[in-house]
A and B are shown apart, each in its own frame.
Chain A
């Protein structure tokens, strides 16, 4: 039954029991939760992007182009960090493949690697922050800077949240539990954050 037909049925006309157990066709709750949360993240970064564009000075938005916008530089560290994030996603994908194909060794090693690379990414972002503020690009100096810190902070916090679930997956693996679903969900989550990062990077660099 399509969603539309399900939401337009005349439920008083069709009493009776359900013959199929919903557990047979429903995806696991955790997966639905992650997908719903993707909606939240999308709105969050979408709004920050709109604010960014508005602040940059689209004419007619009420305040016009302000002469105070000075784009930030693009040091190599930014690209290195992005590459580390990409590798982290790749590792998660490897872990997911290992989980699905029953290759325990691959799954285990990729799992550890994925988390380690995630931590490396966050460390790199902090270094990037330090580099920028040492060079004089404080948050208060310029709106471009302010948005940079805000966007990277929000992205970093979400990644840190993901690392929390990575720790749980590692602990679960150690305890011998079935971690296929957590690994799969973490992988998808990581890929999503990689996509967000790519979009934000494009936004930051386009100015």
Chain B
């Protein structure tokens, strides 16, 4: 008796919790409303199941509790009922899966006009790179990395000369333009996640991964690393600033290019000393 009432109260409490709790998805700042929609549809179908099944449970516990003179009914199976239930469950499942797969299809189909931005991750900070006027990111690899070339860009690749490098944790993006984030890790697995953008993807050393999105409102958003990467994982933070095209262009113009960085390195004698130190470290096994 008591347990039936408690079950019913827990159902009611869960619904109230959902309605009144202050913890819900952050206001979306990207084009991925289709993900939110798929989530809401899933939520409602699941909510119907949760409420329905548990209230049925509560009612059953009440109605069929043991008492003097009461006896259980004998019914080994009811194939027809089970088939019906299977069918309706299948329809519910399909109803959830369809919007989910449609949204996923969008997620894996990068628009042709998406601008490319590279995010690099290392324990425990972010870095960013833009392809520059030639529109192509220079090839990069761990093998080229050094204190002077923290992005590991191939110095012999002409496409890399005009790449714009951002060594701080702050990335800017222009409002309303689709962006393909290409992700490269220098050491271990990381994950680039901005809750307001909804999208995320792991950074995997050895390969280049990606996701795409279009920022739909201006603001400053936090980047969180979403794949455990060691003791500094919780501190591997960054920011994304979404702004007007003009403000973005101004910001971009202030950043250093790879070509400028190479020139700077050659100009300063102290860096030549550093380069001499670097070589044995790379060859070390």
List A residues 1-28 near B (Cβ within 8 Å).
Answer: 10, 12
- A9 to chain B minimum Cβ distance, whole angstroms, is 12
Q: Is the CB of A63 within 8 A of B206?
A: yes
Give every chain A residue within 8 A of B76 (Cβ-Cβ).
10, 12
Give every chain B residue within 8 A of A12 (Cβ-Cβ).
76
- B243 to chain A minimum Cβ distance, whole angstroms, is 35
B207, CB-defined interface residue at 8 Å: yes
**Interface majority SS (helix, strand, loop, mixed), chain A:** loop
A39, CB-defined interface residue at 8 Å: no
Chain B contact-residue range equals under 10
Give every chain A residue within 8 A of B206 (Cβ-Cβ).
63
- B108 to chain A minimum Cβ distance, whole angstroms, is 14
Give every chain A residue within 8 A of B77 (Cβ-Cβ).
10
A75, CB-defined interface residue at 8 Å: no
Give every chain B residue within 8 A of A62 (Cβ-Cβ).
204, 207
- B81 to chain A minimum Cβ distance, whole angstroms, is 16
- B140 to chain A minimum Cβ distance, whole angstroms, is 16
- B283 to chain A minimum Cβ distance, whole angstroms, is 16
Give every chain A residue within 8 A of B207 (Cβ-Cβ).
62-63
Give every chain A residue within 8 A of B204 (Cβ-Cβ).
62
- B213 to chain A minimum Cβ distance, whole angstroms, is 22
Q: Mark B185-225, 1 if CB is under 8 A from A, else 0.
A: 00000000000000000001011000000000000000000
A62 to B204, CA, bound (A): 10
List A residues 67-86 near B (Cβ within 8 Å).
Answer: none
List A residues 24-63 near B (Cβ within 8 Å).
Answer: 62-63
* Closest partner residue, chain A, to B209 (CB atom): A62
* Closest partner residue, chain A, to B76 (CB atom): A12
List, sorted by A's number, 7 A–B pairs whose CB atoms are closer than 8 Å. Answer: A10-B76, A10-B77, A12-B76, A62-B204, A62-B207, A63-B206, A63-B207
Binding site for A on B (CB under 8 A): 76-77, 204, 206-207
Shortest 7 CB-CB contacts between residues of A and residues of B: A12-B76, A63-B207, A62-B207, A63-B206, A10-B76, A62-B204, A10-B77
